[in-house]
A and B are shown apart, each in its own frame.
Chain A
Amino acid sequence: MDAPNPIVIEVDRLSAGYGETVILENLTFDVKRGEVFVILGTSGCGKTTLLRNMIGLEQPLGGRVLIGGGDVVEAEGEDRRQLLRRFGVMFQNGALFGSLSLLENVRLPLEEFTELGPEAIDLIARMKLQLVGLHGAEERLPSELSGGMQKRGAIARAMALDPEILFLDEPSAGLDPVTSAGLDELILELSGSLGVTFVVVTHELPSIFAIASRVIMLERERRGILAEGTPAGLRDAPPDDKVRQFFRREANP
């Protein structure tokens, strides 16, 4: 293994938004290898926007994002392909390809990016699906699956090439507690034993306490980071009323 906890993602004075609307301003933080880094905040504070900027889907209004030292926005050609191979993304709604069966969805990246034979690809894809608890649903189309199953299928697809970073946008929303706990366990195991880095957007409190090694909390009014730390630290010593409200599930007064 490499030196202890090198930085894998660097977000440097990032400003993000759409057109004239600035949602996030001047964000700076970094994510270390093997961490489960959780982005949280109330609805509409820009969690998904931040994620989309971190994976290079949106052009930031300012600043930059480095993944393993490579700029996700500036990289082109072969560099960009190499960079993209380093992370997998699970989108909020799964974004499974609707015309392909679940198995074919997971096979796709393996077919396109490896030299493996069909039998090997098949086996790997089935193993990934078993990891997320979808054994037996391989031949079904995404439209025949429940929302939770689609999400887990999307996680399996994101893991197909075993990237070193996984971005998960609300992985446990809409999952039953048992499945959700199983998913948390998997995340912890992958990050603990294999050093996979996770960047997770979520607001499921139990899940946050279970998996997060570090969290940042975003706030809409501030257009930036309200608090940063471990979940237990933020719960026990909230630096701000809003943080306390969030961790104790209190409604607005």
Chain B
Amino acid sequence: MKSNGHPVMAARLEVERGDGDALLLKVEGDLTNTTVPELWRQSEAMIIGGTSSSVAVDASGVGRIDGAGMAWLLKVGCRATCSGGRLEVRGLAPAYEKLLERYDLSHYRTVKMIPPKSLPLPEQVGRVTAHLWQDLQTHIGFVGEMTESLIRAVLNPRSIRWRDLLLAAERTGADAVPIVALICALVGLVLAFQSAMAMRPYGAEIYVANLVTIAMLRELGPLMTAIILAGRSGAAFAAEIGTMKVNDEVAALTTMGLRPVPFLAVPRMLGMVLTIPFLAMVGNVAGILGGAVMFLTLDYPMAAYFKQVLLAAEPRHLISGLIKSVFFGITIAGVGCMRGLETERGPSAVGLSATRAVVTAILLTVILDAIFGTVFYFIGF
């Protein structure tokens, strides 16, 4: 057996009963973390069960002792002092004796593993409610500050940090073009296949073009783009700002007299809002082209598909979709920055903020989409 490169002598334990109920433990060998486990089990079985007024350990035959060995001595000691007795260690090398003195026996007498606290139900409900209420307050506060900062920024464009804005625009916009195009093309393709199946019995396959066009422009282009951006950029905003918060960078900004919201959130929000309509357009085009791929399998000429697309693509469909996408962008960027700024201390906090950002952003986007859908339907837009 080897530990830390030294050969290890196995530990041996002998127990002798002295006068009355006194115990004498004779240990030999090395007391290291490779030998102590066995020793611990032995001594547990032999002595821990009994009661005795004094315990003496004869350690004259002991070689090396490490932390585990010290712990064993302490354990024996605790037991002895617990029952009012005394611990006596004989024959310990002076170096180890000095080290043993460093440990205060009284600290360890009541070593108990603290069970995790569990709260009664009413308290839990109360805490959750209080927490939700606080959350709501900070959210309202954030929305207010964000609005104010945005208005200021628009009124005074020179105060905007353009470099950050362009960087955010590049990261959320340009860098996302391939993924948005790919996903929307596939969505368009699938949509075309599904609807073709439904329309075939009526011989109305040509109207697949109308369906794909309107669905993409009004609904799926903006929505899919928003969901992709929530996962990509919303999470990135929360993680970036969250890391800054954890590293006290946000505190540094505040002490310099720079407010975190205008400084960090406004450029990101504007970068997102300026690019998301273009991404939605990319999504629309890709979706319609995806539909066209399906059309290759039918007996219609390609020209017929695109003619139908142009007929279906009324400006109001496009505009209603783009209006939605702008609001989606505001939501996603706002949620991402807010979750980032809410980040608490600790290493898992950043991950938590990013997760929350994505979940909240997708949830709000879909709710917003439902509201827009209903409103547009009733006003006939």
Contact = CB atoms under 8 A, between A and B. Distances in A.
Contacts of A85: 3-4
For A122, A127, A128, A163, the residue with the greatest tally of chain B CB atoms inside 10 Å of its CB is A127
Contact of B67 (A117, A124, A139, A141): A124
B101 to A, nearest CB: 11
Interface in B29-56: 32-34, 36-38, 40-41
A164 interface: yes
**A contact face: mostly helix, strand, loop, or mixed:** helix
Contacts of B114: 139
Nearest to A161: B33
A177 interface: no
Interface string B2-13: 111100000000
Contact of A114 (B4, B37, B102, B104): B37
A130 interface: yes
A117 B37 contact: yes
B107 A126 contact: yes
A243 to B, nearest CB: 34
A119 interface: yes
B379 to A, nearest CB: 51
Contact of A127 (B34, B71, B113): B71
Contact of B98 (A120, A131, A144, A193): A193
Contact of B107 (A124, A135, A141, A159): A135
B347 A123 contact: no
A186 B310 CA distance: 82
For A68, A116, A123, A164, the residue with the greatest tally of chain B CB atoms inside 10 Å of its CB is A123
A144 B344 CA distance: 11
Contacts of B72: 120
B37 A130 contact: no
A160 interface: yes
A131 B348 contact: no
Nearest to B68: A124
A221 to B, nearest CB: 31
Contacts of A122: 111, 113
A139 B66 CA distance: 24
B108 interface: yes
Contact of B75 (A123, A131, A139, A162): A123
Contacts of A141: 346
A5 interface: no
Interface string B323-366: 00000000000000000000001111000000000000000000
Contacts, number: 101
A114 B5 contact: no
A159 B67 contact: yes
Contacts of A128: 67
A127 B70 contact: yes
Given A143-B345, A189-B99, A194-B99, A120 B75 contact: yes
Nearest to A159: B67
A126 B116 CA distance: 18
B107 A130 contact: yes
Contacts of A164: 4-5
B40 A116 contact: yes
A61 to B, nearest CB: 28
For B41, B68, B98, B107, the residue with the greatest tally of chain A CB atoms inside 10 Å of its CB is B68
Interface string B286-321: 000000000000000000000000000000000000
Contacts of A174: none
A126 to B, nearest CB: 6
Nearest to B347: A98
Nearest to A128: B67
A86 interface: yes
A99 B4 contact: no
A189 B67 contact: no
Nearest to B39: A120
Interface string A90-132: 0000000011000000000010011111111011101110110
6 contacts: A99-B346, A114-B68, A117-B37, A142-B346, A161-B67, A164-B4
Interface of A: 68, 82, 85-86, 98-99, 110, 113-120, 122-124, 126-128, 130-131, 135, 139, 141-144, 159-164, 189, 192-194
Closest 8 CB pairs of A and B: A193-B95, A98-B347, A162-B66, A115-B37, A143-B346, A124-B71, A143-B345, A123-B71
Given A116-B33, A126-B108, A135-B104, 17 more contacts: A113-B33, A114-B37, A116-B40, A116-B68, A117-B37, A117-B41, A123-B108, A123-B111, A124-B71, A126-B111, A127-B70, A130-B102, A130-B103, A130-B104, A162-B32, A193-B95, A193-B99
